[in-house]
């Protein structure tokens, strides 16, 4: 199933948050509704890519639509709440923002260590998205990255 990262975020956002297993189950349901075979490994890889790009953010054992996502529902996704036995969830936005800040910092440090300037520039751009998405400030982190990068 070829869904965009924004569509994966849209499915997650429909419920507020989903575990990886729940998201893969939702993707399996959508594949079934479209008469397609579900490719679990391919879908799991797409979820990993969405997390890597901050379209999805991990919070405890849940995935939440992330700061770079523009959540969009794929075809037939509006039926998922009726099909799946998952209640709508909410997460603490401040705690989510703090956890995302920590991950962004770790990713930026890794990019600096690896000499990956392109990844570092991407992460600096993501930092602005994180600030718009959650109640955290990343000014100090950006200033540090500019000095070190």
Buried b (16+ CB within 10 A) or exposed e, 102-116: eebbebbeebbeeee
Q: What is the pLDDT of residues 8-48, one digit of tens each?
A: 999 999 999 999 999 999 999 999 999 999 999 999 999 99
* pLDDT, averaged across the chain: 94
Model confidence, pTM: 0.94
Q: What is the pLDDT of residues 89-106, one digit of tens each?
A: 999 999 999 999 999 999
On whether the CB atoms of residues 9 and 63 are closer than 8 A, the answer is: no
Supply the pLDDT for residue 144: 86
Supply the pLDDT for residue 1: 61
Helix, strand, coil fractions of the chain, as percent rounded to 5: 65, 5, 30
For residue 14, give the 3-state DSSP assignment: helix
- Looking at residue 77, what DSSP letter applies? G
5-83: CATH topology is Arc Repressor Mutant, subunit A (1.10.10)
Q: What is the pLDDT of residues 46-66, one digit of tens each?
A: 999 999 999 999 999 999 999
Residue 110: CB partners within 8 Å, gap ≥ 6?
116
Residue 137 has pLDDT above 80, yes or no: yes
Domain regions of the chain by residue span: 5-83, 93-148
On whether the CB atoms of residues 19 and 61 are closer than 8 A, the answer is: yes
Q: 60: closest CA among 86, 98, 115? A: 98
Query: How would you class 46 by CB atoms within 10 Å of its CB: exposed for 0-12, middle for 13-18, buried for 19 or more?
Result: buried
* pLDDT bracket for residue 146 (50, 70, 90): confident
- DSSP secondary structure, 37-52, as one string: ---HHHHHHHHHHHHH
Spatial distance between the Cα atoms of 132 and 61, rounded to a whole number of angstroms: 24
Residue 149 has pLDDT above 90, yes or no: no
């Amino acid at each position: 199933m070829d869904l965009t990262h924004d569509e994966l975020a849209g499915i997650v956002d429909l419920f507020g948050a989903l575990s990886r297993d729940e998201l893969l189950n939702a993707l399996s349901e959508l594949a079934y509704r479209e008469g397609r075979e579900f490719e679990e490994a391919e879908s799991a890889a797409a979820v990993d890519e969405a997390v890597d790009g901050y379209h999805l953010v991990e919070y405890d054992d849940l995935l939440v639509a992330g700061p770079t996502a523009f959540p969009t529902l794929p075809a037939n996704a509006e039926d998922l709440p009726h099909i799946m036995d998952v209640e709508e969830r909410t997460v603490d936005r401040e705690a989510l923002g703090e956890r995302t800040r920590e991950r962004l910092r770790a990713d930026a440090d890794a990019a600096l260590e690896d000499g990956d300037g392109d990844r570092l520039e991407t992460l600096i751009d993501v930092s602005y998205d994180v600030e718009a998405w959650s109640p955290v400030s990343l000014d100090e982190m950006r200033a540090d990255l500019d000095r070190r990068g």
